[in-house]
Amino acid sequence: MDLDRLRQLDAIAREGTVSDAARVLHLSQPALSRSLRRLEAELGQPLFDRSGRRLEFNEAGRVALEHARHLLRDERAMRVALDDLARRTRALRVGTVAPAPLWRLTALTVERFPGLVLTSQMLAEEEVEAGVQDGALDLGVVLSPVSLPSVRSAWLMEENLAVALPCDHPLADRTEVTTAELDGETFLLLADIGVWREVCDHYLPHSQFIVQEDRSVFEQMARSSPLPHFVTDAPSLAGSVGERVVVPVRDVVAHADFYLVVRDGCREESREVYDWVRDQVDGPQPRGMD
């Protein structure tokens, strides 16, 4: 189950309205409403009584909220334990907005610092920036350089989105497609894809997503199911798409540049990793930064 949806459930209970919860979560109100409906569909029953614009928890919603808060408390306890372990071992805490740049960072780190461990979590960009600034995170991966004198930024990698379509799909003969042309399709989607999930929710508002938590199950379904799914040009995500046609998505939102960020005064290990990655990566460096 997607913990982000449980956080959304908790936020609605705390803030009182969908609009206030959406503001706190940095989501649009329609995106939050769609996410709640997907949670209800996943659980198999409505969690709210809806009357006009009002949204109130019904009995099932109150039960779900109680269990959601237990799960979120357990998740926080796990992260505290991992943070404590990181302080006692050669481990760095990394926050990232997407999985591919984390794998790129890990590959570069292992190459130079084989005894160093990276513990990671997927976060919104604002949370990554705040975590790096206040020292809760040793390193961060974000979508744009952080323009603060206390934070250093270096380009890490780029990633471009494409869609893998069955050969007989009406769009399979195209050299590129737009999100508007894809909107309304039912997609197979891998969970925990960070910022790419936000792109899907925002730019494909009429689409349905069959979300798989387990990567091996996702890959099996991608080979056997007629449903389209997304792929990227990130080497860590490269793999066989079987009897499918890969068509690039033309929209600007289908392209992402990722930056590694670190704060001044950080741990020596963080600075060493940052310097090593900056020197190894050949890409555009933000003006006024390293």
- The pLDDT tens digits of the residues spanning 31-44 come to 888 888 889 998 99
For the chain, where are the alpha helices, taking DSSP H only? 3-15, 18-25, 29-43, 59-88, 99-112, 125-134, 179-182, 195-203, 215-224, 268-280
Domain boundaries, the chain: 3-75, 90-290
- The structure tokens 């969970």 sit at 191
pTM of the model: 0.69
For domain 3-75, the CATH architecture is Orthogonal Bundle (1.10)
Q: What dotted CATH number matches 90-290?
A: 3.40.190.290
Two structure tokens written together for 189? 């989607």
Q: Using one digit for the tens of pLDDT, what is the confidence trace for 77-132?
A: 988 887 776 666 668 999 999 999 999 999 999 889 887 889 999 999 999 999 99
- Residues ≥6 apart with Cβ < 8 Å to 248: 160, 161, 162, 175, 176, 177, 254
* Integer Cα distance of 230 and 248 in angstroms: 10
